[in-house]
Amino acid sequence: MRSFVRAAVTVMFTAGAVLATGAGAQAGASDTRDAQDTYAGCQSGYVCIYPGASWNGNRPEATYFRYGVYNLNNQTGTHRVFNNQTGGATVQLCTGYDGVGCGEKMPTWTYW
């Protein structure tokens, strides 16, 4: 089973945001759009964060694979978050520490 990430940020990162990970897909569920390979420098099974509103020359500034909560610090301005996970895993963007204030789930193979 691949891990997924709930990114605790908004579409615009703010200082002191959180990246929380955990299971988001139903057991046995699969997404036909699952990532098969690396895309824009983001390996299959990962959630990647890019500085600015672009793919940054296929160089993510941060990648996440494991379940857990990641409190992000010193992240300001616009960032792109790409969900390149498999198995229908989702990502959530949140505004507070430890996964507080999360928005809607980002499906596999999408970016915000």
pLDDT tens per residue, range 35-50: 568 999 999 999 999 9
Cα distances from 18 to residues 21, 39, 67, 93, in angstroms, run: 10, 24, 13, 8
**Residue whose C-alpha is closest to residue 83's, from 56, 51, 52, 109:** 109
CA dihedral defined by 80, 44, 102, 93, rounded to 10 degrees?
0
**Residue whose C-alpha is closest to residue 81's, from 1, 10, 3:** 10
Number of domains within the chain? 1
pLDDT tens per residue, range 51-73: 999 999 999 999 999 876 778 88
Q: What is the pTM of this model?
A: 0.71
Cα distances from 19 to residues 8, 11, 32, 36, 56, in angstroms, run: 4, 12, 25, 24, 20
Domain hosting residue 42, numbered range: 5-111
Mean pLDDT of 19-41: 58
The neighbouring-strand residues paired with 83 are 47, 110
* C-beta separation of 93 from 8 below 8 A: yes
Other CB atoms within 10 A of residue 17 CB: 25
